[in-house]
Every structure is written in C-alpha cells, then in structure tokens.
Amino acid sequence: TAPARDRLRIAIQKSGRLAEPARSLLTACGLSWRQSRDKLFCYGESLPVDLLLVRDDDIPGLIADGVCDFGIVGRNELDEQGAARRRIGLPDAYQALRGLNFGQCRLMLAVPEEWDWQGVQQLAGKRIATSYPAILADWLAERGVDAQVVELSGSVEIAPRLGTADLICDLVSSGATLAANQLKPVETLLESEAVLAGPVKTPDDARAGLMAMLLRRLDGVVKLQDSKLLMFRAELDRVSELARLLPDADPLVQLPDDGGHLRLQTMCHGALTWQRLEELERAGAQGLMVLSVERSLA
C-alpha cells in the first residue's frame, strides 16, 4: 500500500481532448495552482490538491499504484485497462466515480462501406484492428464470435485499406473520420465520456476529507451545467399545466404570494430558450425570469 499523504493528487491529461475541460472543471470546483499549464506538476494553492499532467493512458495506472488519488480520463481508457487487468487475473484497482458530461464518444465496430452488415456472426474469422483489444476481446467472447484482434496503437482507421485488418473497432464522435476512410459504423461496444476515476478503497488519512469535499463540489458543478433558476407568477389553476411544460425541472416551489398571484420558482436542467418562455407565458406564466446559478451545495 502507498504511504499516507496529506495532499491530494489528481491526474489529468497534459494535452489533448480532455485537458482543457478537465482543468476548467477543477477550477470551477475552486481549485487553483501555482505552476503554468505546460509543467508536469501543478502545486495546489487554494487547497492542498495538486495536479499531475500526464498522457491519458497513464492515468488508470497512477491510481492503481496509489501515486494519484483521482484522475480524469475517458471511460474507454479506464475500461480497457480494467479489462486488461482482469484478463491477467489482477484485482480491480480503480473505479469510475462520476460521469463528467464531456468527452462523449462511442467505441464502435466499423466496416468497409460496401459491406452488407448482417450482424455479429459475420465477424467469424475476420481481423479487427483496434487500440482497445481487451474490451473487444471480452465483447467478442460474450457473443461467442471467433475473430482475430489486431492491436494497433494509432491510425486504426487506415488498417482496412492497408490490408492489415478487415474492419476496425475505434472511437467515433462525429463519424467524419470513418466516412473519410470509406468505413461505416455498425455496432456500439461502449458509450464513453470523461469520468472522475478513483481508487476502490478510499485512503484513511487526511485525503479522505478532501476527496469527499471535492466530490461534493464536483456534483454541484456538473449538476448546475445548463441549469437555471426560473421564477414566475401564475394563477393557481394554471400551475399543473405549467408544471407539465417543465418536465426537465425540479418540482415547483411556492414563494410567499403577491396580491392574489402565486409566485413560483424551480431549477430547470434543460435549455430555456425564448421559444419555451413564450410557450410558458401562453400557458399562464407571468413575469418570467431566468437566473444563472453560480454555485450550489445540494
């Protein structure tokens, strides 16, 4: 087991798709650091929480070894290394604690456009290029399909053209890369997003309190993304219809009333466009007000 520490360490990607959003998220949780962003180590100033800037591939291992307490990494990377550990009989050493609502993508099978896709049984005897060999091998095994997994560390999408594989298993977000390589997605193995990863067992020293505090702040920040406080007045007989128009909001809360009208407020977690406000107005809401929420401890 790793030695006790009184400062928390969080590993995030140094550069790449998750680097900037991970940093902004932690900043929104009230963290700040002394070092510039291109350094490997950032010393926490506002709280004893330091950052390690690394390649995303290294993050699960840093948590497993107890070098870092938390990491922000794609579920794809975490699951792949978890599946690889399980394949060689190692115990689980980390877990996804929270989905973070960014870095969305899918791990998909993609075949040459001219294939007439009939289903997984078509994969028998085929060669599949991927950077996710453990997830793919588990997925194939669950379906009883005997295909060959060809592990590549990058440029997976050109493997079919090069003749090194028949199809691929890779991350897809818009699908533009697949289309540019005359491939089409046919099966989803994993829906991924950036997650906060942590150890299976919380350390029993000063870090435990810091970890709990950070999780609480993170929940506040993630929950508030896209959330607004909505306030309005209405007649009592309009309230149920207005509530029906707000399926993405918390239950309406009644404030002390104001000369006959009810005054109501709610936290709405979906977009409140002008069009929606006009619709609410037609249904009897008056004096509609949409307010941004800076911080909240739910």
Q: Which residues bind ligand ATP (CB under 6 A)?
A: 13, 16-18, 55-57, 74, 76-77, 103, 105, 171, 173, 192
76 binds, among Mg ion, ligand ATP, none (CB under 5 to 8 A by kind): ligand ATP
Q: Is 6 exposed, middle or buried (0-12, 13-18, 19+ CB in 10 A)?
A: exposed
Q: Is the Cβ of residue 180 or residue 297 nearer to ligand ATP in the bound state?
A: 180
Q: Is the Cβ of residue 27 or residue 173 nearer to ligand ATP in the bound state?
A: 173
Query: Which of 56, 58, 157, 170 is close enough to bind Mg ion by CB under 5 A?
Result: 56
13 binds, among ligand ATP, Mg ion, none (CB under 5 to 8 A by kind): ligand ATP
Nearest-approach distance from CB 201 to ligand ATP, in angstroms: 25
Nearest-approach distance from CB 196 to Mg ion, in angstroms: 18
Query: Which of 19, 28, 30, 57 is close enough to bind Mg ion by CB under 5 A?
Result: 57
Q: Is the Cβ of residue 8 or residue 194 nearer to ligand ATP in the bound state?
A: 194
Nearest-approach distance from CB 168 to ligand ATP, in angstroms: 13
Q: Is the Cβ of residue 13 or residue 130 nearer to ligand ATP in the bound state?
A: 13
Q: Is the Cβ of residue 57 or residue 248 nearer to ligand ATP in the bound state?
A: 57
Q: Is 236 exposed, middle or buried (0-12, 13-18, 19+ CB in 10 A)?
A: exposed
Q: How many residues belong to the site for Mg ion (CB under 5 A)?
A: 2
58 binds, among ligand ATP, Mg ion, none (CB under 5 to 8 A by kind): none
Nearest-approach distance from CB 59 to Mg ion, in angstroms: 9
Nearest-approach distance from CB 54 to ligand ATP, in angstroms: 7
18 binds, among ligand ATP, Mg ion, none (CB under 5 to 8 A by kind): ligand ATP
- The answer to the question of residue 170 lying near Mg ion (CB under 5 A) is no
Q: Is the Cβ of residue 20 or residue 219 nearer to ligand ATP in the bound state?
A: 20
- Residue 221 phi/psi, 5° resolution? -65, -45
Choices 52-60, 123-131, 183-191, 260-268; region in contact with Mg ion by CB under 5 A: 52-60
Distance, in Å, from the CA atom of 177 to the CA atom of 298, rounded to the nearest integer, reads 41
Q: Is the Cβ of residue 18 or residue 111 nearer to Mg ion in the bound state?
A: 18
Q: Transcribe the chain into DSSP letters.
A: -PPP-SSEEEEEESSSTTHHHHHHHHHHTT--BSS-TTSSEE-BSSSSEEEEEE-GGGHHHHHHTTS-SEEEEEHHHHHHHHHHHHHTTPPP-EEEEEE-S-S-EEEEEEEETT-----GGGGTT-EEEES-HHHHHHHHHHTT---EEEE-SS-GGGHHHHTS-SEEEEEESSSHHHHHTTEEEEEEEEEE-EEEEEESS--SSTHHHHHHHHHHHHHHHHHHTT-EEEEEEE-GGGHHHHHHT-TTBPPPEEEEEETTEEEEEEEE-S---HHHHHHHHHTT-EEEEEEE------
Can you give the binding site for Mg ion, defined by CB under 5 A? 56-57
